[in-house]
Chain A
Amino acid sequence: MRDKVFIAFQQNEESRPIIEAILQDNPLAVANEQPAMVKIDAPGRLVVRRTTIEEKMGRAFDLQSIHINLISLAGNIDETEDEFILAWHGA
């Protein structure tokens, strides 16, 4: 089994469409709810896709604004306007 990457958000209304989008785009991701936060683990790689969030929200979304409710993460980051990817590159 590949090492897990994770991303965690504050539990609030703004995070909801982001979390839903992540779970939809990453079938292997698992959401783990703790008081006031949600931690999403996924094996090896996880992608946050702007277009999916926009579908959930029904309006334009600037991917950089995920920072506002982001709590923590683990993995190498690759960020563009369209995708925010977390991945381990190792064996």
Chain B
Amino acid sequence: MAHRKLTLKEKYQLMTRGLDWETTYQPMDKVFPYDQYEGIKIKNWDKWEDPFRLTMDAYWKYQAEKERKLYAILDSFSQNNGQLNLSDARYLTALKIWMQGITPAEYNSHRGFCMVGRQFRGAGARVACQMQALDELRHAQTQMHAFSQYNKHFGGFHQAMHMRDRAWYLSIPKSYFEDAMTAGPFEFVTAISFSFEYVLTNLLFMPFVSGAAYNGDMATTTFGFSAQSDESRHMTLGLEVVKFILEQHEDNVPIMQRYIDKWFWRGYRLLALVGTMMDYMLPKKVMSWAEAWGIYWEENGMALFHDLERYGIKPPKYHEIATLEKNHITHQAWTVFYTACPATAFHAWLPQPYELDWLSEKYGETFERYYRPRFAQFAELERAGERFYTNRLPLVCQTCQVPVFFTEVNNPMRQSVRQLDWQGMKFNFCSDGCKDIFAHEPEKFCQAYIPPQQIYQGNAGGARNLQEYAAWLKCEFGKDSGEYYTSEDYARWKQWHGGKDTTPSSAAA
């Protein structure tokens, strides 16, 4: 009577597949009302290939092991004042942006996967999405716990949950995830599992987290790599989702191509923040944004799209533009952060001499010609006691919500601005990519909550200028925001180090 031992594949099949059934007391379309309206055609959910065959008990087992390791490190980190081991307190700006922008995004990703974990009618896809939903909750929570120790000793963390729904620069990640969550389930998984997780998160979790290790931040290194071990499951889900949808019906191909185009561009714009972390916020450098883009997009990303050619999928629209911009965007973004930091919950500064040299080495003539002189000018003003801050509200792209500071690819001296009239209103964009996205869904993107416009309309606590706006965000100048080298963070850091400045003098550890 005893049968042979079941293989992993067979066992997993039995453990998930037969569980669901075709409902008859209620119509399937009423039980699953949201997985039809995008026009994606699924003929047979049973063709779904489970990327990883984790049963729930195996999931608990491996994830618990990861958590035990992670919290052992977080405990020892806080018991031993691990924040003192950082290379330099400037590094904290990256963590503040992480907590204000990325941790809420992890939470939103969690809820989004809860939604698709209910919305899809295929059992295999739903189980995969539910596990990812639980993983994303893990990421949000472990990040809160890692940052908890930093919050006790530095500014900029304590009001993050207030900032997250209000601050101009946090509207970038917020609108990105809300766009995905308010879309249909197929667009959501393509956006997050495929375009974000598969194509783009390596850029965040590999070079940046490796950089955290380089800069003595064991808390972030540990949660970062531990989170990324879940991501490898998520990325695989992303690839399987896309292949499955493409194989189901040829009509799905153009819809998927549009999702891939849209979400590549939106993700790329979001990652400008990450690139700036790598080039400007890590006191000890690991690799430049341009180098990371070369490895993780030009090499690994293109390999992925070669693999998808057989389905009739082309690399995302405007990817060449992204590659052409790789030598520019981080310098432009940091310039904006440097001048607008009083209206943020982080500090900014001018790159130190060793960093200017490192940037020159990595970006060559581009940096020497366009950006180094600009930083020299700011340094001149600082020496004259006139540290420059902007007092203007920026013009913001209606789609990605990044202020329109990027330049034309063929002319780094000219700002790239696009406009479009829709229903008697004028909308502004940072690029053709963002304008195209709006043009396809104007009813959706005209709804966006654009912070500068909200300020003008009196919806930011009646703030009339950037000072009042910062107060509404609960950002106190010197404590949470403004120049690093005159900040309380810096003063405290120096005091802990016997009054000495610990700014590194070289990019190497």
Contacts and interface: CB of A to CB of B under 8 A. Distances in A.
Q: CB atoms of A and B under 8 A apart anywhere in the complex? A: yes
Interface of A: 3-6, 8, 10, 34-37, 39, 64-65, 67-74, 76-77, 79-81, 88-91
Contacts of A5: 303
A71 B206 contact: yes
Interface of B: 7-9, 51-54, 58, 62, 65-66, 202, 205-207, 209-211, 213-214, 221, 225, 228-229, 231-233, 235-236, 239, 286, 299-300, 302-304, 306-310, 509
B contacts with A: majority SS: helix
28 contacts: A3-B303, A3-B306, A10-B225, A35-B286, A36-B209, A37-B210, A64-B58, A67-B52, A67-B232, A68-B65, A68-B66, A70-B232, A71-B206, A71-B228, A71-B229, A71-B232, A72-B235, A73-B235, A74-B300, A74-B303, A74-B304, A76-B307, A79-B8, A80-B9, A81-B8, A89-B310, A90-B309, A91-B309
A35 B221 CA distance: 10
B399 to A, nearest CB: 28
Contact of B286 (A34, A67, A79, A81): A34
Given A71-B225, A88-B307, 17 more contacts: A3-B306, A4-B300, A34-B206, A34-B210, A36-B209, A36-B225, A37-B225, A67-B62, A67-B232, A67-B233, A68-B65, A72-B235, A74-B304, A80-B7, A89-B310, A90-B309, A91-B310
Contact of B232 (A3, A35, A73): A73
A73 B303 CA distance: 12
A77 to B, nearest CB: 5
A79 B206 contact: no
Contacts of A77: 51-52, 236
Contacts of B286: 34-35
Given A3-B302, A36-B221, A80-B7, A64 B310 contact: no
B62 A72 contact: no
B8 A4 contact: no
A39 to B, nearest CB: 7
Contacts of A34: 206-207, 210, 286
Given A4-B299, A90-B307, A72 B231 contact: yes
A65 B62 contact: yes
B11 to A, nearest CB: 10
A65 B230 CA distance: 12
A72 B205 contact: yes
B257 to A, nearest CB: 16
Nearest to A5: B303
Nearest to A65: B62
A34 B210 CA distance: 7
